[in-house]
Structure 1
């Protein structure tokens, strides 16, 4: 059941990424048409497209982290014995957990500090902007905990890498 819930969460993130990209395209293209065709534009579209871009990047980073798709140069590590590779993987994941914890703390601070600050064009609370980092941090932390558990148990990355 937990796996199904996680899969639904990541499917929702995929859809959020698509919606954000589509929204950005519509707003930016629409604003270009309005500026060149009608000598006007929608002020809020620039701000909202920037917000959608930030949410798209953070949600996409969560999906890619789960799939193990981030860039990695492992030609040196791949030549090491299995036990050493496993130890390095555990050390790297623990380091990533520590850095992700810093992201969570920073994003949480930004969300709480900016609750009463509002964007100039749209009037939306800036805490929604910084919430993207918080969603990323919490999700990445959970993914990394699962990854650490698998690395400690010695589970290969093959077929199991895609799921939390």
Structure 2
């Protein structure tokens, strides 16, 4: 695929996600906190991670909000390992032309990492009020794969939801503020 085709495909994917907008909740903001636990092992590699928003019924992906992978590997080889994030890859990750500005970044170390999204811009800019899930999937070389779903309400009232991971993820929290 040419660079122009990649850009067009990315725009098309983003436009499809934004087409779900009927009446965006522009005043709302969302904070996603992801905790990567310390794992005692002889060889530890930082996990690859994808986070995306989907409808509460799990039938429609709204859009990807974060993808962390090894951006420093020679010849972009880090992108090849992203297919190990199987659920994200099958629900639209393989169609993204990476890197995506404001979405992709390097893997993160052990600890809690906060991502903030304002309702008026970014991946949630055109999200209509309703029930959704923040899905976070992590996979680590010589480790395991884990996926958690955190339900949240967008554009109705402030709310908080937390889900505790058990292997590759610690606490994953979504805080919505009006």
Please report the TM-score for the alignment, with normalisation by the length of structure 2: 0.26
Structure of larger gyration radius: 1
Please report the TM-score for the alignment, with normalisation by the length of structure 1: 0.27
Normalized per residue, the structure richer in helix is 1
Higher relative contact order (CA 8 A, sep 6+): 2
Normalized per residue, the structure richer in strand is 2
